[in-house]
Structure 1
């Protein structure tokens, strides 16, 4: 089967389906590559930042040393130490000092974690949407192609197997392409979701240690 024949003999709807499938495939693989690179950098940055924090004598020193690292643990350290300093430097009667230090740090660390991990959500909605809709879009293209192929065959009066197999076979390619686009999107969504969950668990474990160290930090 010649895929080029679809663009030569297909109508606007069928051609649009194939172009949409192509766009979905490009988006899927772009998201996969970008997210894999970001997770790889985040994992390496977390390892480096955690070592710096654990080896530092004070959290202020740790926050300064991880300033150039763009990783979740480094960002959480800087923001948490900044929140701790803001609390200590805040005057009496302010909203910051209205809460005990423990509750203030818990809220601040939780909010920082949510904001930090939110940047790893990019492209996930697109992968989920592509994985869910691509097979149905491909099936729509197949149904549309078969419908018009049968109409053309009935108008031409040629009912041989050769006359039927060619147009219908080209229409069935739409379903195959829909699956070809959807399967990588679904697999990538599950893998990247698991990767984000792992990063979140590592960040959560570090946050508990950081919280304890901040509570015991000397003024």
Structure 2
């Protein structure tokens, strides 16, 4: 398999297909590396800060512990405490706070958690699109390459196996390249979606428990 020969003998369409697949592969691995690192850091931060928050003796101490660790649970804790303080401060002056504390906290915590988890969705659309389209782009390159290989063979009048197998074999590389790009994108997409789902489940369980803690806070 000589990719150099493809670029030397292929026309602009086949070359464009390979260039596009190379760019898609670069995007795929960039997203995989960045998102995998961020997801790992988020889960590690949650494991660190969660016991610190629950072992705090007061709400103020829990806030200080949350500020010391960069984690989604830290951000959710700070937002929930801020909402609790805002309710107590403005419950008689703001229409947004003119609801029971329980409903107000549920709404604010849900909105905060949605904003936090949305940060981990970046790049998933690109991975899904690449995984779905890369094989077809590669197949298009193969069809185009075979078509032009057969045209060139018919014009030259050489019908030997060597004359047919060489150009067609190089054209089939486009399909292999498309699969090479698509398979990591699909696997990474499934891995990251699963990771985001488990992160959301952990956040939801923590938010429920911390919501109850705020309702029973006596500070």
TM range (shorter): over 0.9
Q: What's the CA shift for 1:93? A: 3.7
- Consecutive unaligned residues of structure 2, counting only runs of 5 or more, are none
Q: Distance in 2 between matches of 1:76 and 1:91?
A: 21
How far off its partner does 1:207 sit?
Answer: 0.5
Q: Distance in 2 between matches of 1:180 and 1:174?
A: 10
Deviation (angstroms), 1:107: 0.2
CA–CA distance in 2 between the matches of 1:196 and 1:11?
A: 43
Residues 60, 81 of structure 1: 8 Å contact kept: no
Q: Where does residue 68 of structure 1 map in the other structure?
A: 68
Matches within 5 A, 1:63-212: 63-212=63-212
User: Over residues 152-179 of structure 1, what are the superposed CA-to-partner deviations in whole Å (9 max), with x where a residue is unaligned?
Assistant: 1111111111001000000000001101
TM-score (norm 2): 0.97
Q: Which residue of 1 aligns with 2:20?
A: 20
2:57 is paired with a residue of what secondary structure?
Answer: coil
Provide Cα deviations, 1:45-100, integer angstroms capped at 9, x if missing partner: 00111011111112222112211322111110000000100111115141232111
Aligned counterpart, 1:7 = 7
SS in 2 for 1:120: coil
Distance 2:11 2:68 in 1: 55
Q: Is the 8 A contact 1:76 1:109 kept in 2?
A: yes
Q: Distance in 1 between matches of 2:68 and 2:122?
A: 23
- Give, in whole Å, the separation in 1 of the partners of 2:165 and 2:97: 77
What is the distance in 2 between the residues matched to 1:128 and 1:59? 42
Q: TM-score, normalised by structure 1?
A: 0.97
Corresponding residue for residue 54 of structure 2: 54
Aligned residues: CA RMSD: 1.0
C-alpha separation in 1, matches of 2:91 and 2:187: 52
Residue deviations 1:100-145, cap 9 Å, x none? 1000000000001100000000110000000000000000000000
Alignment length (residue pairs): 219
